[in-house]
Amino acid sequence: MDFSAATNQLKRSLGSGVVRTDPESLREASFDSSKIAFPVAAAVFPRNRADLAKVLALANRARVPVTVRGRGTSLTGSASPVRGGWVVDLHHWDKVKVDAQSGLAQVEAGATVAAIQAAAEAKGWFYPPDPSSKKYCTIGGNIACNAGGMHGGKYGVTRDFVLALKGFLPTGEFVEWGTPTKKFSAGFNLRDLWIGSEGMLGIVTDATLKLIPKPEERWTLLVSFKTEPDAFRAVLSLFALRIQPAICEFLDRYSVDCAEKATGQSVFEGQAGRPVVLLELAGGKAEIRAQKKLLLAWARSHGIAHRAARTRSEAESLWEVRRSCSGAMFKLGDSKLNEDIVIPMGKYLSFARFLEKLRKESGLPIPTFGHLGDGNLHVNIMYHKGVPSERRAAQKAVNLLMKTVVALGGAISGEHGIGLAKTPFLRLQHPPAAVKAMRAVKDALDPKGILNPGKMFEIFRVWESPRLEVRMPWDHA
């Protein structure tokens, strides 16, 4: 559709510095980390709430699609403007204020998670959710997708730390959900409805986040295993000891191999290509001291090798294995279907067996890593887009993966959301009545359908769409 008249009107109202239509601005707004591009009419950078209210009011009247973004780190296409229109960029709304007394943080939507964590820790507090792209991803995007990260098993995900939200309805009307207090029970809980709604119900501008005391001490341990099922069995036995590590990361042998080739270093000398579990304890000194003894005994009993970090810099070198594996996977193929599924703990071993079968039947490399503390695994189906047989195999593999995940009682997404990439599988997860209810909520809050249209409910097959040949700064994460 032609949105030029409305775009010109908006530019006259707010100025060309706010409403940008130059080729470079339009290009940057046209895609997110899914790397599927769509032409847009304008990239809009509101200076304040008044600007944003005007943008939405005019968009609602003229039925211009509006997609909001921070830094575009979404892997599922949540911030891709599939219907064109206007892309509202809030990455410059990045203020962070931590109240050291109450342990609350007031943050704007464009603040990065790393900036929030740094501000919290400077005052003795801790914000646990930590996606791998935390140096780049914004809290607004984390709220939109209910992001998690490596700390999810012990501490929870974004939703567990959001006390209140401020933002705008698609009409341009300002709203507040919740209050900056640790208790709230006054009316419907529309705050939690916005969390995970992927910008389809409203635009978040500000949030009040709950913080927890900064852990007194951390301790990191890397353990290797003979096989993936051995690693899963060992982790289940660890949880049976009632030890809940702050982080419990799993890398299969394919992920480890990618990381070793990328860094040029072996995780364990003489143990090349073995699956590993990377653990971190966090808490009081006495608690850590007691748990360290149990963990070392567990590692000796279940693993074939283990290595503990003696300093934080040594711990960081261990974490480099985890951080480097994802980007290194592109040596296995130039395209990736990155699926952030969730498996119930009781089904870990069944899923491990399924993955090995899927690799053999598809003929594709499928390195897998993720968070065993909460069952959120990142299954990476690698293929070459220029090879038709590999494209077909990848499509078949991802469909079988999602059907199996749901059959095991799991979730098709743990933290990336539905966006465009997961739209073919939404109805595997939810029965028709549930999808109908979600559509009813969307229609009630956004009756003209301007906010992030074309997402979630309409099927989009990402493996059939051309992707841009670009590298994002966070592609290594």
Higher pLDDT, 376 or 462: 376
Quick one: how far is CA 427 from the chain centroid?
21
Pair 180, 238 in one domain: no
Position 315 pLDDT exceeds 70:
yes
**pLDDT tens track for 143-159:** 999 999 999 999 999 99
What's the whole-number mean pLDDT along residues 74-80? 95
Alpha-helix residue ranges (DSSP H) falling in 146-197: 152-155, 190-194
Is the pLDDT at 266 greater than 50? The verdict is: yes
Question: Is residue 82 pLDDT above 70, yes or no?
Answer: yes
Question: Is residue 452, in this structure, part of any structural domain at all?
Answer: no
pLDDT band at 312 (very low <50, low <70, confident <90, very high): confident
123 shares its domain with 177: yes
Q: Could you give the CA distance from residue 120 to residue 212 in angstroms, rounded to a whole number?
A: 9
- Helices marked H in 303-342: 312-328
Kindly state whether residue 359 falls inside one of the protein's structural domains: yes
In a shared domain, residues 103 and 77? no
* Nearest Cα to Cα of residue 352 among 404, 282, 309: 404
Q: Which of 66-70, 72-76, 209-213, 319-323 has the lowest mean pLDDT?
A: 319-323
280, 183: one domain: no
Query: What pLDDT band is residue 259 in, cutting at 50, 70 and 90?
Result: confident
Q: How far is CA 186 from CA 37, 183, 189, in A?
A: 42, 10, 8
Range from 86-95, 281-290, 314-323, 410-419 carrying the lowest mean pLDDT: 314-323
Range of the domain at 222: 217-329
Is residue 106 in some structural domain? yes
CATH of the domain at 275: 3.30.70.2190
Query: Strand, helix or coil at 91?
Result: coil
Same domain, 192 and 102: yes
Where does the pLDDT of residue 476 fall: very low under 50, low under 70, confident under 90, or very high at 90 and above?
A: low
Average of per-residue pLDDT values in the chain:
94
CATH number reported for the structural domain that contains residue 419 in this entry: 3.30.70.2740
DSSP category for residue 147: -
Tokens of residue 219, six digits = 């301790």
Q: Are residues 209 and 102 in the same domain?
A: yes
Amino acid at 183: K
Whichever domain contains 109, its CATH number is: 3.30.465.10
Cβ contact 40:29 at 8 Å: yes
Name the domain boundary from 65, 89, 113: 89
Is residue 450 one of the residues assigned to a domain?
Answer: no
pLDDT, one tens digit per residue, over 181-193 is 988 899 999 999 9
Residue 102 and residue 207 in one domain = yes
In a shared domain, residues 206 and 107: yes
Regarding whether 161 and 115 lie in a shared domain, the answer is yes
Task: Give percent of the chain above pLDDT 90.
Answer: 86
The domain boundary residue, chosen from 299, 329, 359: 329
- Report the CATH number at residue 56: 3.30.43.10
Sign of the CA dihedral running 160, 161, 166, 168:
negative
358 with 285, same domain: the answer is: no
Residue 278 burial by Cβ neighbours in a 10 Å radius (0-12, 13-18, 19+): buried
Residue 434, classed as helix, strand or coil, is helix
Rg (CA), the chain: 23
The model's pTM: 0.94
Does 11 reside within a domain? Answer: yes
Handedness of CA 181, 184, 187, 193 (dihedral sign): positive
Tell me if 126 is assigned to some domain: yes
Same domain, 197 and 251: no
The SS3 of residue 271 is coil
- Residue 52 falls within a domain, yes or no? yes
Q: What is the pLDDT of residues 277-300, one digit of tens each?
A: 999 999 999 999 999 999 999 999
291, 260 in Cβ contact below 8 A? no
3-state secondary structure of 224: strand
Q: Are residues 85 and 101 in the same domain?
A: no
Number of domain units in the chain: 4
Question: Would you state the pLDDT for residue 477?
Answer: 43
Domain end among 89, 117, 146: 89
Question: Would you give the DSSP letter of residue 293?
Answer: H
What is the share, in percent, of the chain residues with pLDDT greater than 70?
Answer: 99
Instruction: Please name which of 434, 193, 237 lies closest in space to residue 348, comparing C-alpha atoms.
Output: 237
H-only helix segments in 63-163: 113-121, 139-145, 152-155
Residue 292 lies in a domain: yes
Average pLDDT over residues 162-180: 97
* Strand segments (E) across 263-402: 276-283, 305-308, 335-342, 368-371, 376-383
